[in-house]
Amino acid sequence: MLKTNQNCNIGFVGLGVMGKNLALNLADHGYRVAGFDLDAHKIQDVLDTEAAERPASSTEARIIGCNSMQDMLSNLVKPRVIVVLVPAGKPVDIVCQSLIDAGLEADDIVVDCGNSQWTDTIRREAEYKEKFKFFGTAVSGGEVGARFGPSLMPGGDADSWKYLQPMWEAVAAKVDENGKPIESNTPGKPVTEGEPCTAYLGPNGAGHYVKMVHNGIEYADMQLICEAYHLLRSLLGYEPEEIGKLFAKWNQGILNSYLVEITADILQQYDHKTGAPLVDMILDSAGQKGTGRWTSISATQMGVPAGIISESVYARALSTLTSEREHAAGILTADVESGEIAAEEVEKAIEEALYCAKICAYAQGFQIMRAAQKEYDWTLNFSDIAKIWRGGCIIRASFLQKIADAFDDNHELENLLLSDYFADAMANKQAGLRKAVVLAAQSGVPTPSFFSALAYFDGYRSEVLPANLLQAQRDYFGAHTYERVDAEPGQKFHTYWQEKGRPERKA
């Protein structure tokens, strides 16, 4: 006879797509789950799926449905661990207050696994600390990742981590000794070997901040791939299927990644209705949920150069101006150059451009996190972060192992570009990035992220930049002062620019 009254290891509030699949993942790994949702149909859906997937030998329901939060809490072992998977923002606070009203205790742990802004996580940890332990865990990998192995980015109370660690390490994506994902998308047969793609990142909002930067890099990665596709199509006249096959080839080399893999698949799909390449039937107006924009804003506030990520956000914004672009296309013309282009040379240049620009985008992402740890008094392990991203998440890629190695070799590494591996990669392949940018400019093909990547690389490697003139301008119109190359650092000077003789004095 099937048992349903049991002490459960973990509770869930919110059984939508992500909640349902993460709960099933935990069940596959031997954890008992108590689930609640305001929508009774969602509760029944997860129960039906669990019953269909349950091993024949099992005498217990691995997931039980609860008709209230009180009911859910009564089914949990103490200290109670409750995962909240509801839309970010006010709904999270509503759930927290409802859990308090339902009898939550000071030692209980509430884990926000949604796409919350890190500042909200910092606030909630402080606000609720007398009521319960608030903990943030960002989840990447979408529906399939949640079901069979996501990348998990936890941040919060360190004492709470000891209760969460075995569960999170069990359900997280796994990689082998070479950093390659170990995958099994079969219900009831979870991956149990390998290194889990999760690690404690730090207090309060650290986990959600790292996930935000992950999403900012994701924006950049996707935009760079789209620009490579656009160049191949515009310069060489390749059809989507041909480009898809080229991406599949690139995925076997240094560009191996989930995003390149799915791009190859997308471009070889045809529309059942029209017979045209499916990508050609999709409106070129891109949506966004805001995490890329958050990354750009945070970088700007801290004064960190993150132009590639910002350009990817702006590119999505520009794409939404559909009617304006259609109107402008009939008015604005480009004075472009044309001529014979060797296809193999262009393919090589674009492949190298994509790799170099990708390196620069990740370098910017890690620079943002380096600044954030000072801003929020965190101690982030950048090698661990790269390792977490090797499997389960959207930006998983082979070269993340190289990033982890770079930080393992030098914990104080200021920028990925300064590591031996990536410095050599940029030295050997930057010609492709330069050629791609030139071809794009000459042909009038918009590639803002490629342009930005090259500008970032050239700016970062420049011993002297024209900011001296900029400082003079600021001092001229606003008396903002400047430093001199022949004076002590921090010593300020001001020039009376419009007076005869232009005397200079210390500020």
pLDDT at residue 78, as a whole number: 94
For residues 217 and 252, the answer to whether their CB atoms sit within 8 Å is no
Question: Which tokens hold the place of 277?
Answer: 């390449």
209-460 fold: N-(1-d-carboxylethyl)-l-norvaline Dehydrogenase; domain 2 (1.10.1040)
Please tell me the distance from the alpha carbon of residue 312 to that of residue 447, in angstroms, as a whole number: 10
Catalytic one among 42, 211, 387, 429?
A: 211
* Domain boundaries for CATH 1.10.1040.10 within the chain: 209-460
H-run or E-run covering 10: strand 10-13
pTM comes to 0.93
Q: What pLDDT was estimated at residue 49?
A: 96
Distance between CA atoms of residues 440 and 448, nearest Å: 10
pLDDT of residue 1: 30
Positions of CATH 1.20.5.320 in the chain: 467-506
Question: Contact 433/360 with Cβ under 8 angstroms?
Answer: no
Query: CB neighbours of 274 closer than 8 A, spacing ≥ 6?
Result: 281
Residue type, 77: V
The CATH topology of domain 10-204 is: Rossmann fold (3.40.50)
Contact 224, 357 (CB under 8 A): yes
- What is the structure's pLDDT at 500? 63
Mean pLDDT by 10 residues, the chain (507 residues): 64 97 96 96 96 84 95 96 96 97 96 94 95 96 94 95 96 94 90 96 96 96 98 96 98 96 98 96 85 92 96 95 95 86 95 98 98 96 97 94 96 96 98 97 96 98 96 94 95 87 67
- The whole-number pLDDT of residue 70 equals 96
- CA nearest neighbour of 190 among 149, 152, 153: 149
Half-sphere exposure of 90 (CA within 13 A, CB side): 0
CA Rg, the chain, in Å? 26
Q: Say which amino acid occupies 299.
A: A
Residues 6+ apart with CB under 8 A from 15: 23, 35, 36, 37, 39, 42, 43, 45, 46, 85
Of the candidates 72, 20, 6, 77, which has an alpha carbon nearest to the alpha carbon of residue 50? 20
CA separation for the pair 419, 59 (Å, rounded): 55
pLDDT at 6: 57
Report how far residue 75's alpha carbon sits from residue 5's, in angstroms, rounded to the nearest whole number: 8
The whole-number pLDDT of residue 338 equals 78
Whole-number Å distance between alpha carbons of 267 and 280? 9
Q: Up-side HSE of residue 505: CA atoms within 13 Å toward CB?
A: 6
Architecture in CATH for domain 467-506: Up-down Bundle (1.20)
Is 218 noted as a catalytic residue in this protein?
A: yes
CATH 3.40.50.720 in the chain, residue ranges: 10-204
Distances (CA, A) of 129 to 75, 94, 110, 156, 197: 23, 16, 11, 11, 28
279 SS3 class = helix
Catalytic member of 50, 125, 195, 218: 218
| 402 carries an active-site annotation | no
